[in-house]
Structure 1
């Protein structure tokens, strides 16, 4: 199973006092008949170590209490034992504050440790398939290349050309659903490494004992590390967290992925020689550049984030060069060197007599010295390891890459090609992918902010302009007039509002970043809440003020990216782009960007706006319409998918999601956000990270190379989908936005108020003060429904929609829907994701949260509607798919979810009780910090257990 699936199949750990500290036996012949046996052994081992830790740290009484809770929860869930349920409730209701904290922590760590074991098992199974020589699995590069070569029209040379024009980019964002502290993640990394060591190595008894002791220490460290942050994250903290994945995964695994792909192409077509692909796969970031609703992202923060990026990239290159210098100890007389290499060595400031006959080492010393000087020049400080002497800094990453290419060419030309394929190969690739900037940093701001800034600039420059009072045509006329001249609007002699000064400072900082780190450092400016052409032209005017758009040169240094978010915006997206492309000035600017235009689509807000089904359908239609508009105007389309981690925010397996795109919507180029806890799940482990990067490449390749002119989607499918969407939209809007008291119900029946106070991100939970659903960010909206186990954003409205559709078409309606799920990948993916969400929902648990609503009539009215809709939705899904039960088509995932519930139920029960006590105290004007702390711990634990927070 992929790491972007919400669960992996496995049981959860037991606290077994009878096997305290025993080592896991090596794989036996019997175990080989059961591929999940090693996973169960890993989980039992970690569970025993956790049990030992609890008993040693908290005492035998605490251990026994936790075991009683676990056993009763398992009995109730697996055997439907009502007596066990009553005993469980009695135990949990009687917990003291101190016991509550112990229980929450213990059950949270059950899930944490199980997650680690699951990821390791994923690696184990992937390796087993490779060792056994199994047929390539869907989602792997081997499978994608096999599919590509099966088409006689595709050859290896054609694939090299494909990658020359491709761009595949996961983009890290700092949305606050990553509830784990980095300290916790560091502990888990150590545990994962030790498990991996046990799996791959034949340990001696002494080594096995040392490994077990190290695991025991790591679990103890985990237990003794605070789960919660004591202070709210700053933007720079978020930047640091994001950068940790580059050190762990991207800087190492991306070069390996490129090398593997190049070797496969070379093997398929020896005439190609040793192809070196363009840097088509890159990791981007929003962290430090996303200002939409985050007042803490300033020009100063942006510049600091960019410097931190550069420090990581340059630090990595310096470390690799240091090791490479020790490895390439080749001596003249034993090996020849090219004239270019000898010249590079001669320019080196390294004059040590010990390296006089070692030109490669001398050359590397010179490269190191120049890179260390670059580090000082760009960052204002010296690297940790000094160079042998002073040298001139590099003007840019291309110059560094050329020096490394000199090393490569000399080695290949003089019989040392094998040496060129090691560390040097990976370093050369890293420099070409990461440059001096590490990752392109996107800028994003809301269109309303741009409008206010432009209006102020125009009014002070040309009093009486009254920009905001004009209609769309009038606004565009004013903006086009400004874009036709190089004259700036802003004056250094005028004091503008703080908002305007701040926005201008951001763009000026972006211009300085281009000069310092290269144009790749900031490539995209994204406009949230785009609803017409003027939104893009406003941004263009602001870019002109900073010199990032130069009218006289017809030059545009960044991409202007509209973000269409709401259902209405998605419906208007194609029309907006049609009108934009009709503007000669804009087409001239687009020519400077290679006649390519990026468009971002918002999954989260469209879902919150119109519900799961309507959001998915609106996105699909918008993509198809955009494909037609772009083809008509001869512009290359690149879609940027703003997906979240949960199904309610566009999440789900990436492979199926990309394959389900409309024909022509990918075209070898795709960007998509990686948000919150998904970043850790996908990229926290290097091997899992490489697999997930490979999935993106494989899916993009397969989708882009699908035979053109495939049979179009039958009109009957499209008509049926529109009818379903209309009915689902009415049901969803009717509940969320048109039911009196729903806002009160939501705030009282979920942990939204407590989530708003949790230190899980730098950005506020709502865009404005107040409790309006319209102002609430999509992330805490989905997060809250996940915590209470309703997952409402991932399914509500589907049951009503199918019910209405079948009533209108009693004869053939169901048969048509069944045909749609068999023959239309879009509809099949939609239902598959909903199947996962429904399987994680639990009405019994949700009813306990509903009981927190004080108004009994309101509680019953709204929860009754939710309960009825859930039941109708499950029935509809099963009828369409032909399954007897949820997830029948995915038994491993079904078993995983069933096994997780006994460990989540106590956390939910405790959370409800803590919420009740906390709110009662708050009503009396007093707050017990221990109770508040317990609530936050339970939020963390449930999020870990679900592996999907928002």
Structure 2
């Protein structure tokens, strides 16, 4: 079957399902799909719900078909392909090899609430994807029947969660991704890296994983009151148990398979000596095996040492010290045992032991490295109370000027170590929670793995004192000791455009502080910096955000030489273009010279996780592609080859940024009544009722755009199809640049020759094609103030047409995405169904306003949130 036949097949499947459960609706579903109008008032609430579900399930299946065709077009072995490309560009194998051995890709999976589908639907997606593959390739009727079975179950399930999602539910979802896809795919890519190193002449076994898995679930406390110390500890323990059970499962399988007798394969001396030492821990049966089947015996020992780690986790430290429990101290010991067996076996017999080793290199005993994130104000509130209690200040620390705060912090950091236990019972609950967070941080590193936690991220960082504040907590908890290697990365998060501009000044102040300078020395002079894409975009618009981020990164790179430190940049990207989304590979290659240096840490959020990692083949491709691009960019930067940029377009980019910023701010921040318009002309009220994340949808109840979270901000504009965060201001920016230089052709040349500009324009173009102003205009009817409605709609409509005209000119196209036919086709294919879902949403929002009593409103609201999920599936984007 070709793609059009597959799409017709899934449409037929939905029709068959409708025929079985709601036959009266099927003809209407077909008519609506063909663009015919219908009188929604003539339909019952049940019929409307059935149609919404039919369109949503169709989009779910369409996403699977799209994914299949994406996977059919990509080639395996991106790393080897990149090596061949670098060789063709005359780079030496030794240089490529040196870079490849050091690159690190660090995806950090967050619980940001942008995954609109329930886990039930995600698991079904997995199975239905397999069923469609089997049916389309082999015509297997069992696969088709199982597909119908799954579709029927989903039909009879709620699309939207009825209960508020909890942090541990978020963890369960992520662990499902880990166990069903990510671990296997990541380990496979490690095998490819090993093969690539061998191709380059390096015969050594891989000692470190180029992929590090990270997570914010259970560690991200910024604005989430449900992430407590108890939850954080539970998350870390579950991660530990999950990966240990993965190892146990594989060891049990290997134990059944490796029945190799000693007389046929001679074990190494190291293996025999280790068994001699460990045989006392074997039971009678295993001791008999020891004489005949040493590999099974060794696996039995390994199993016991892993099992004991779980059992010992809850024992007090004193008990562990007294009773020398037979267990692994760390994952290095586990890997050493695996290596011992690999060395004693031939290449073929050791295949699955090598897989186990790759998994252990990837996940250790921690599975994912947890980041701890909290708002600067929370750190300061705790410190102010502690310093007042200890007598460092008389009065309120927070009322002191910055210079005086610095003096007090220096005195406190110079003072002898404090026993934190002496503070318990003498401080507020909130401050004791903060102290305990750092105590737990250290406990987890001591008892689970040193890799279980690392970064402590300070949200809305505004001064050098913010980091000194956290340094005090790190010192008292033993995470930082002078003269020893630090066990914590203190990371400022610069989120707004203003914060990004302040970053160099803050870092200069930090490096001049003697205490922080000592901390940096103990951290090998590395400073992690997190850069936020979401708030900078909400702050200044899409183009100004991208340009400001690029400039901030360039300035930081220049600062490295001055301060004699290395920055490790952590990119806080979201799923949508307006929150830093788009192809990671394009973003990497267009980033400033030397901004990567072999290291890429980036957030993977919400629907991006399912989009990139739910399907194991897609996950493998995502890892493979990220490492290949990271290798290419790092080789280019390290050995002085810059990607061709052509003439200097900096003044043009600067002008576009400044004018687009001004235009965006005029609409969003300077138009009186804009927040009223936003709340009326988008379904933000209903989005806030969606149970798609444990975190509240806003920081505080306010009438200010600044206090709205970036995710629901983008989500709401995506739902009403105006999607202004992804494009607004660009047209005016391009217009201003043209007026200044007087030559339209310069902007087209800038697109052809400047990779940053091209990547930004391409990302905006893809989002722009999803805009539907005809639909968006209907939402204006909900704005009661006629003058406000006309004023804002006029601004949006004018900027839309201006932006469209410039996108077509700059990209040299007759119609948008003319040069990207597959992407265009995929977007436009969904339009008829999205249009119908939008009209359902509009109809129901009107009905909600006209409803006479609470029970009626509640029923309609439930229908509205199902349209939100359906539209999110169709656009393949939420926030």
CA contact (8 A) 2:100 2:197 kept: no
Q: Does 1:662 align with 2:592?
A: yes
* Corresponding position of 1:574: 504
Taking the TM superposition and a 5 Å limit, the aligned residue runs for 1:124-139 are: 124-126=72-74
1:522 Cα offset (Å): 0.3
Tell me how far 1:714 sits from its aligned partner: 7.3
The aligned residue for residue 865 of structure 2 is 936
Task: Give the unaligned 5+ runs of structure 2.
Answer: 317-323
Is the 1:459–1:467 Cα contact (8 Å) retained in structure 2? yes
Identify the match of residue 264 of structure 1 among 189, 196, 206.
196
Q: Which residue of 2 aligns with 1:429?
A: 358
Match of 2:13 in 1: 49
Distance in 1 separating the partners of 2:325 and 2:668 = 64
Alignment deviations for residues 220-258 of structure 1 (CA, whole Å, 9 cap, x no partner): 122222211110101111111111111012211111101
Q: Tell me if structure 1 keeps the 8 A contact 2:167–2:226.
A: yes
Decide which of 305, 314, 334 is 1:370's aligned counterpart: 305
Task: Tell me, in whole angstroms, the C-alpha distance in 1 between the residues paired with 2:89 and 2:520.
Answer: 34
Shift of 1:367: 0.8
Q: Which residue of 1 aligns with 2:132?
A: 195
Distance 2:674 2:596 in 1: 39
Structure 1: gaps (5+ residues): 1-36, 74-83, 131-135, 382-389
For the 8 Å contact 2:99–2:635, the answer to whether it is kept is no
Q: Secondary structure at the match of 2:788?
A: helix
The answer to whether the aligner puts 1:807 opposite 2:770 as a matched pair is: no
On the 8 A contact 2:731/2:806 being kept in 1, the answer is yes
1:70 aligned to 2:33?
yes
Q: Does 1:443 align with 2:372?
A: yes
The 2-side partners of 1:177 and 1:113 are apart by 19
1:626 aligns with 2:561: no
Distance verdict in 2 for CA 1:925–1:218, change over 3 Å: closer
Rounded to whole Å, the distance in 2 between the matches of 1:261 and 1:791 is 40
TM-score for the superposition, normalised by structure 2: 0.95
Distance change (3 Å), C-alpha of 1:919 and 1:495: farther
Instruction: Give the aligned partner of residue 536 of structure 1.
Output: 467
Shift of 1:679: 0.5
Secondary structure of 1:169's counterpart equals: strand
After superposition, residues 136-285 of structure 1 pair within 5 angstroms as 140-155=78-93, 157-198=94-135, 202=138, 208-269=140-201, 272-285=202-215
Give the drift of 1:158: 3.6
Q: Deviation at 1:702? A: 1.1
Name the CA shift for 1:98/1:470 in 2 (closer, same or farther; >3 Å): same
Aligned-partner Cα distance in 2 for 1:800–1:542: 47
Q: TM-score, normalised by structure 1?
A: 0.88
Q: Aligned partners of 2:850, 2:475: CA distance in 1, in Å?
A: 56
Separation in structure 1 between the aligned mates of residue 31 and residue 818 of structure 2, nearest angstrom: 31
Distance 2:160 2:185 in 1: 30
Q: Is the 8 A contact 2:118 2:161 kept in 1?
A: yes
SS of the aligned residue for 1:393 comes to coil
CA contact (8 A) 1:311 1:379 kept: no
User: Does the 8 Å contact 2:289/2:296 carry over to 1?
Assistant: no
493 and 914 in structure 1: CA distance in 2 versus 1, 3 angstrom threshold: closer
Q: 1:580 to 1:712 in 2, by over 3 A?
A: farther
Counterpart residue number, 1:386: none
Q: Does the residue aligned with 1:681 lie in a helix, a strand or coil?
A: helix
Task: Please say if residues 163 and 277 of structure 1, whose CA atoms lie closer than 8 Å, have aligned partners that are also in contact.
Answer: no
SS for the counterpart of 2:270 is helix
- 2:652 alignment partner in structure 1: 720
Q: Distance in 2 between matches of 1:478 and 1:670?
A: 36
Note closer, same or farther for the CA distance 1:42–1:311 as it changes in structure 2 (3 Å cut).
farther
| Contact 1:164–1:277 (CA under 8 A) maintained in structure 2 | no
Q: What is the CA distance between 1:277 and its match in structure 2? A: 4.8
Equivalent of 1:326 in 227, 249, 256: 256
Are the aligned partners of 1:176 and 1:761 in contact in 2 as well (CA < 8 Å)? yes
After TM superposition, the structure 1 = structure 2 runs for residues 487-526 of structure 1, keeping only pairs within 5 Å, are 487-488=417-418, 491-492=422-423, 494-526=425-457
Match of 1:849 in 2: 779
SS in 2 for 1:561: strand
Write the distance in 2 (CA, Å) between the matches of 1:454 and 1:391. 39
- Aligned-residue CA RMSD (Å): 2.0
Residue deviations 1:464-509 (CA, integer Å, cap 9, x gap): 1532122222222221222223332854355222221221121111
| 1:4 match | none
Deviation at 1:42, TM superposition (A): 3.1
- Indicate the residue corresponding to 1:767 in structure 2: 699
Structure 1 equivalent of residue 321 of structure 2: none
Q: Secondary structure at the match of 2:233?
A: helix
**Alpha-carbon contact 2:132-2:144 (below 8 Å) kept:** no
State the match for 2:320 in structure 1: none
**Residues 305-331 of structure 1: per-residue CA shift (max 9 Å, x gap):** 001111110010000101111121111
Q: 1:756 aligns with which of 682, 688, 712?
A: 688
Q: Within 5 A, what are the aligned runs for 1:301-312?
A: 301-312=231-242
The 1:407/1:350 distance shift into structure 2, 3 A limit, reads farther
Match of 2:377, SS state, is helix
Residue 696 of structure 1 and its aligned partner are, at CA, apart by 1.2
Equivalent residue, structure 2, for 1:81: none
Q: Is 2:355 aligned against 1:409?
A: no
The answer as to whether partners of 1:331 and 1:358 remain within 8 angstroms in 2 is yes
1: CA distance, partners of 2:630 / 2:651: 28
Alignment of structure 1 residues 729-878 onto 2, 5 Å: 729-810=661-742, 812=743, 814-878=744-808
1:600–1:639 contact (8 Å) kept in structure 2:
yes
- Structure 1 window deviating more from structure 2 (535-544 vs 218-227): it is 218-227
Question: Which sits farther off after the overlay, 327-336 or 40-49?
Answer: 40-49
Alignment match, 1:115:
63
Query: Do the aligned partners of 1:574 and 1:626 also contact (CA within 8 Å) in 2?
Result: yes
> What do residues 492-550 of structure 1 show as CA deviations (whole Å, max 9, x unaligned)?
35522222122112111111101111211001111110121111111111222322122
Range moving further from structure 2, 538-547 or 312-321? 538-547
Cα distance in 1 between the residues matched to 2:535 and 2:649: 26
> Comparing 910-919 with 171-180, which one deviates more in the overlay?
910-919
Alpha carbons 2:53, 2:866 under 8 Å: kept? yes
Native 8 Å contact 1:750 1:788 kept in 2: yes
Task: Give distance in 1, aligned partners of 2:621 and 2:53.
Answer: 31
Residues 658 and 699 of structure 1 are in contact (CA less than 8 Å); yes or no, is this contact kept in structure 2? yes
Partner SS state of residue 210, structure 2: coil
User: Which residue does 1:27 correspond to in 2?
Assistant: none
Take 1:714 and 1:334, find their aligned partners in 2: how far apart are those partners? 65
> 3-state DSSP class of the match of 2:476?
helix
